[in-house]
Chains A and B, each alone.
Chain A
């Protein structure tokens, strides 16, 4: 069943939904990247909750005009209008009042959503409202999706994606350095509004599949996951698009295989799985890599301290140090150095003396700045310079390394 879903063998409707979700995921991931880079992730939550009253009002208007209240284009237009209004409210509150952005987001989000729920209750009491299925917009509902619905989603997603790609430079620049952007004559406020309007477009397009409560996850989780793997804006954008697309596709396919589960939550869980893998296993930025880096560094410190202690005949109490020396064959279990241990210890002590000379001589100022207790002196001085330092220290010249 699952494989059939993945390979689009579950019939017409499931195939439509899966492909639509994939498109939506790509558009959401790419658009969300710029929200994330601008540190405005939560704005999308306000936008998405602000769609609800629009959906409900559009339904009421369409029914009262004698039409079919469930027309998707009509409902999406309504949601776009109210989301746009919510967005302007957040933007205005942040810029013109003393409210911080988080407070503005919180108030807009809750007020719009509350109003939307009231309207939904009103619709429930209308004669034609019972079968409207507008609750589906909360968590996404893909049962009975029409070809025309899929086309709306695909075209909307593709248009959004195209606009993002055209505007990627100004949006990226404003996200990184708004002052420089402004000095170059860019209208930072307008570009910010554009970023948010694009997020709004994705939200509106995704209402049918993912629902307004969870669309924020499709905008934000993909770029957050992508950030773990790369240090380049273009690659974060690309990876976020891929992550979003894969989550949408796999999530929709899974939910088609188990039709009683709503699509939105499954898509979010799939993207969370990608996030979790990125968080733990990404090279350099991942948690595991960070832990390993820390352990390796700690071992270097202990090793160095252990060698210096051996050289000066001091007892070693630290268990980790002893274990490391033992493991490297530099000391016995009772802390007595082996032959190699003695040689390495002598070298360490000699290097420490060399550093002492380097750090007291103005002529080596540049090299001295690099001292951190661990750095090999050979990496900052040439052989000739080390020879010069050794002459000043005196004592035996040929230390066995």
Chain B
């Protein structure tokens, strides 16, 4: 035991794994004005896992994700991606923002939105050619939206819009997928389609992290869970940490006991 500790510079043996985690957030604090929304959060996402970030409204779920990606400027804290600092690793990350964060009357078509996922490849000047279009169409195919490629995005239903956003992320060909409330306001068919795509990504060895608000589907959809209410409450496999006790800590009594009883929880 001692020998092992020395070999790892005094850190526990899991440290090796942590160091190359797809996403490792350390000491992340974000505040709007004088009130921290996220306070000193550490988060380590396991490779090849599907992680749900859960917590009550305003608990900093989305903010944590945005701060980790540098979309929101944190007060302190850092992000490591696959063991490297974030700036050089952005090509390995695909981000799906909340659907409500954009203006859907924007003059753009479905296929154009998916092509935005290829901008890194296209650079400033390269023309969009057939291979790019084929790639974009293949991504639309995976989310079942090929028939809509020429539509203006405002003509889509909420679920269809969410699928288009997912297709754009797929086009990026990333290793780590971060999604902000991908199931918010979508129909049941879309929810099924999205979860199928995400599980497909996990089977390819990709890592998926999603801000999620429906506790009932956590055990079915995800294998790991990260519970937050301004600071971290718990982090680990669903089997270990998705317990009534942790939920109570996270939601602070805002969940009725009846609701908790209905969840497919680990008991004992």
* Residues of chain A whose beta carbon lies under 8 Å from any beta carbon of chain B: 37, 39, 166-167, 169-170, 173, 175-177, 179-180, 182-185, 227, 230-233, 235-236
| Shortest CB distance B67–A (Å) | 11
Closest to B124 in A: A166
Q: Is there contact, CB below 8 Å, between B93 and A173? A: no
Contacts of B119 in A (CB 8 A): 169-170, 173, 184
Known: A176-B102, A176-B113, A183-B70. 5 other contacts (CB 8 A): A176-B108, A179-B71, A183-B71, A230-B107, A232-B107
| Shortest CB distance B154–A (Å) | 8
A100 to B107, CA, bound (A): 26
Across the A-B interface, the 10 shortest Cβ-Cβ residue pairs: A183-B95, A231-B152, A182-B71, A185-B90, A179-B97, A183-B69, A177-B102, A176-B106, A236-B107, A231-B107
Interface of chain B: mostly helix, strand, loop or mixed: mixed
* Residues of chain B whose beta carbon lies under 8 Å from any beta carbon of chain A: 66, 69-71, 87, 90, 93, 95, 97, 101-103, 106-109, 112-113, 116, 119-120, 122, 124-125, 152, 154, 168, 178
How many CB-defined contacts (below 8 Å) exist between A and B?
Answer: 68
Q: Is there contact, CB below 8 Å, between B101 and A177? A: yes
A4 to B62, CA, bound (A): 63
Closest to A227 in B: B107
| Shortest CB distance B42–A (Å) | 21
Q: Is there contact, CB below 8 Å, between B107 and A166? A: no
Q: Is there contact, CB below 8 Å, between B106 and A179? A: no
A177 to B117, CA, bound (A): 12
Please name 6 pairs of A and B residues whose Cβ atoms are closer than 8 Å in the assembled complex, sorted by A.
A176-B108, A177-B116, A179-B95, A180-B97, A232-B108, A233-B112
A370 to B95, CA, bound (A): 33
| Shortest CB distance B44–A (Å) | 20
A167 to B116, CA, bound (A): 14
Q: Is there contact, CB below 8 Å, between A179 and B66? A: yes
Interchain CB contact (< 8 A) of A233 among B103, B107, B120: B107
A233 to B113, CA, bound (A): 11
Contacts A37-B106, A173-B119, A180-B116 given: A185-B95 contact, CB under 8 Å? no
A233 to B128, CA, bound (A): 14
A153 to B70, CA, bound (A): 40
Q: Is there contact, CB below 8 Å, between A184 and B90? A: yes
Interchain CB contact (< 8 A) of A231 among B95, B109, B120: B109
Closest to B68 in A: A183
Q: Is there contact, CB below 8 Å, between A166 and B125? A: yes
Contacts of B106 in A (CB 8 A): 37, 175-176, 233
Interchain CB contact (< 8 A) of A232 among B102, B109, B125: B109
Q: Is there contact, CB below 8 Å, between A182 and B70? A: yes
Q: Is there contact, CB below 8 Å, between B108 and A183? A: no
A37 to B105, CA, bound (A): 10
| Shortest CB distance B231–A (Å) | 24
| Shortest CB distance B198–A (Å) | 18
Interchain CB contact (< 8 A) of B120 among A39, A175, A184, A235: A184
A230 to B150, CA, bound (A): 12
A184 to B122, CA, bound (A): 13
Residue among B70, B87, B109, B116 with most chain A CB within 10 A: B116
Q: Is there contact, CB below 8 Å, between A180 and B95? A: yes
Contacts of B122 in A (CB 8 A): 169
Contacts A233-B107, A233-B108 given: A185-B97 contact, CB under 8 Å? no
A184 to B70, CA, bound (A): 10
Q: Is there contact, CB below 8 Å, between A231 and B93? A: no
| Shortest CB distance B56–A (Å) | 22
| Shortest CB distance B71–A (Å) | 4
A235 to B101, CA, bound (A): 24
A184 to B116, CA, bound (A): 11
Interchain CB contact (< 8 A) of A173 among B66, B70, B101, B116: B116
Contacts of B109 in A (CB 8 A): 231-232
Contacts of A177 in B (CB 8 A): 97, 101-102, 116
Residue among A175, A183, A230, A235 with most chain B CB within 10 A: A183
| Shortest CB distance B100–A (Å) | 11
